[in-house]
Amino acid sequence: MTETNVSITRRLAAVVDDLQSEFRVLCDEKDFENKLNALKKAGTKSDRASKLRKLFDLFDKCGIEYERGKDNTYYERLVRDSNIPTFSDIGDRMLLSLFKKYDAYPSPEEYMKRIVDRLSNAEDGWQQDTLRLRILKQFIKYGNYLADAKIEGKSTVRAFAEKKLGKKSPSDEEVLSCLSDDLFNALTIEKPNYSGLSKEEAKKAKQRDKERRKETRRKTELLKIADDLASGKFRSEGATKKYLYLFAMVFDMTYYSGNGDFFNPLTDVETNLFRDYYANNLIRFITDAYTGRRSEFENDPSGQGINYKNFAEMIYLYFISGEHSPQDKIRLSSEMITRVKENQFQQGRIDTTRNGGTQYYRGLFKVDDPGKLYSEDILSKSEEEFERFICDTYDCETYIPGDGEMRKKDTIVGPLQVETEQNSAYQEYRKVLEDLRDLGVRLENCNYGLRFTDVAAFKKNGQDTFCRRHPKIDPNKFASFVDLLQAFNDFMGYTPTEKESDQSEAQEWTELATFKTKALFIESPKAITRTSLLVTYYYYYNALNEDVEKGTWMNLEEVYNDFKECIDPILAAANYQPISGRNIIDLLVIFSSYAYLNVG
């Protein structure tokens, strides 16, 4: 995506507005033909008047000037001369407009760069470094290489510096001054070549390489964190969340609790990292890192943001809010998490649902109504009191016994993996599924995905045909946009691989395709995500409104507002962010609903 001079916030705000004005009405030649045919067939004077009114409404909505009191020939000529788009034209227009708007959306890198630019100390003079190098240097200077958080990589960085400087034991200042982006070459693991080896030799070589790769990954963890954060890669098992909290500490970010503090949108950890960057940033579908490497990364961030039921995250927030230096914050938070984990090991679990679930735990840290003065300021507790409070109130059990059935072995989970069930969100999700079933819709038929473009056609023909029709667009940029559409379409439904069929068209169309969309078959509160809930609701919304007479949903603005009004209470009950034009996935989903309801 291209850099522009316009701030990210303004660019995003303009996206939805521009789309709305462009698609204030959606109608094609056929709509006008239908109106004109109805007019020709109109019998009585009153019948003609009502048909004319409908035609005039269409002219008004399309911004076509006309005169009243004319004969049918006049109106037919007017339609002919008004360059009404065909259905195919409209599809192209929608795709083209979305593509232009997509280009305005910031990438994960841009989001992160904005944060780093804003929070860095200008006097460090690292502005010309690559983003990942800047983050790494911040970790080194202000976070002591993240060593206190048991992150390895210091030796790798110092070895690089020693080689470059030609001296042993350089100071941290010397290390910082000589680091360059080629340090990150250490992350590249060469593809092994076992040709020419016997089966036994190859087996031994593979084992050796496996150990070596494991060792390399361990020794370069610090580099990996900087690289991941700079490029928007989200790792599984809560790893990315830990990195974000460490990032927040070294960049001295703030947390707003509502208890004697103020909200600073420029430094707030929840808004900047756990909403904009982590929860909403799904553009990483199109980044190289994700091509063919889905198992290593989350399929999509849960959208939960900060997990207020998780004891480790609360400890991080406590220290982020405190007065210590970044390095001390890292050290003290890591030590407290370790102590709590060890002290509470195999002590049994606290039933957080019975306590009140996420709403209750969120309320312990956040005051939603500043007018209410009776809540305790947890963040003002001493460290000793706070640690006791955590042990008494939170489920800190990392030991999960095997149950002999699904989970045969005893397991120990990481601190950030405790209490990750999203019970409220799962409950809302189940309600939407019930609503779908009540409409007589089979979940197996909810698989048509995006509706404003034929993703299958693009997959088959590539984007060549489209680019030929629109020679001004950059084919490479459009290709990455199509990648996003295809990836998201796979998530929302499925992209069929077209092949020759020996059935007739009538036979082909007798039954709806049945292919399970993963988002509609989530079976655990641990697996629910905001995107899954959104997609499920999308199918419900379309089914609920598809019988409404065409012409009711005539502009994008109305669909956007209605969709948002309907789903926002559900998202809030699920503890997710409301619909936002800043989220490209939200926009794609609603735009697709708009196309579904208007075009079919």
Partner 1 sequence: MRIQAMSHMGQYHTDANGTNEDVVCSGQNNRLCVISLADGVSTCREAKAGADIASKAITHLFLTKGNLIMNLDNGRLADLVFSHVLHELKKQAARMGLAVEDLSCTVTSILIDKKSGKMLCYHLGDSMILAVGNGKCRVLGMPSFSTDGCIVTTTENGQRKACVSWFDARAFESVAIVSDGAWQNMFSKNRLRQDVTTMLIHGDYGTLEEYLASKKCADDYSFISADTREMGRRCA
The contact set with partner 1 (CB under 8 A) reads 7, 9-10, 118, 252, 254-256, 258-267, 321, 323, 367, 370-374, 377, 379
Q: Of 371 and 471, which has the nearer Cβ to partner 1?
A: 371
| Tokens of residue 596, six digits | 């579904």
**Minimum distance from residue 297 beta carbon to partner 1 (Å):** 31
Q: Of 170 and 258, which has the nearer Cβ to partner 1?
A: 258
Q: Of 256 and 553, which has the nearer Cβ to partner 1?
A: 256
**Minimum distance from residue 114 beta carbon to partner 1 (Å):** 9
Q: How far is CA 563 from CA 88, 240, 413, 425, in A?
A: 26, 31, 39, 18
**Minimum distance from residue 133 beta carbon to partner 1 (Å):** 24
Q: Of 266 and 412, which has the nearer Cβ to partner 1?
A: 266
Q: Of 257 and 352, which has the nearer Cβ to partner 1?
A: 257
**Minimum distance from residue 5 beta carbon to partner 1 (Å):** 13
**Minimum distance from residue 577 beta carbon to partner 1 (Å):** 19
Q: How far apart are the first and last CA of the chain?
A: 32
| Tokens of residue 591, six digits | 């735009």
Residue 153 to residue 221: CA distance in whole angstroms: 6
Residue 251 to residue 116: CA distance in whole angstroms: 8
Q: Of 321 and 495, which has the nearer Cβ to partner 1?
A: 321
CB 35 within 8 A of CB 55: yes
Residue 449 to residue 495: CA distance in whole angstroms: 8
**Minimum distance from residue 209 beta carbon to partner 1 (Å):** 48
**Minimum distance from residue 266 beta carbon to partner 1 (Å):** 5
Q: Of 374 and 509, which has the nearer Cβ to partner 1?
A: 374
Q: Is 237 left (phi over 0), alpha (psi -120 to 50) or beta?
A: left
**Minimum distance from residue 308 beta carbon to partner 1 (Å):** 19
**Minimum distance from residue 6 beta carbon to partner 1 (Å):** 10
CB atoms within 10 A of CB 456: 16
| Tokens of residue 588, six digits | 């794609």
* Residue 120 φ/ψ, nearest 5 degrees: -70, 155
CB 555 within 8 A of CB 25: yes
CB 214 within 8 A of CB 152: no
Q: Of 324 and 477, which has the nearer Cβ to partner 1?
A: 324
One-letter amino acid identity for 281?
N
Q: Of 9 and 411, which has the nearer Cβ to partner 1?
A: 9
Q: How far is CA 73 from CA 37, 56, 70, 562, in A?
A: 12, 15, 8, 39
CB 256 within 8 A of CB 268: yes
CB 247 within 8 A of CB 326: no
**Minimum distance from residue 322 beta carbon to partner 1 (Å):** 9
**Minimum distance from residue 257 beta carbon to partner 1 (Å):** 9
Q: Of 93 and 381, which has the nearer Cβ to partner 1?
A: 381
Residue 83 to residue 27: CA distance in whole angstroms: 12
**Minimum distance from residue 388 beta carbon to partner 1 (Å):** 21
State whether residue 268 is helix, strand or coil.
strand
CB 109 within 8 A of CB 131: yes
Residue 366 to residue 359: CA distance in whole angstroms: 10
Q: Give, for 412, the enclosing helix (H) or strand (E).
A: strand 411-412
Q: How far is CA 500 from CA 261, 453, 505, 506, in A?
A: 65, 21, 12, 15
Residue 148 to residue 143: CA distance in whole angstroms: 8
Residues in the chain, overall count: 600
Which of the 8 DSSP states describes residue 399? E
Residue 113 to residue 107: CA distance in whole angstroms: 10
CB 527 within 8 A of CB 426: no
Q: Of 95 and 115, which has the nearer Cβ to partner 1?
A: 115
Q: Of 255 and 308, which has the nearer Cβ to partner 1?
A: 255
**Minimum distance from residue 253 beta carbon to partner 1 (Å):** 9
Q: Of 272 and 422, which has the nearer Cβ to partner 1?
A: 272
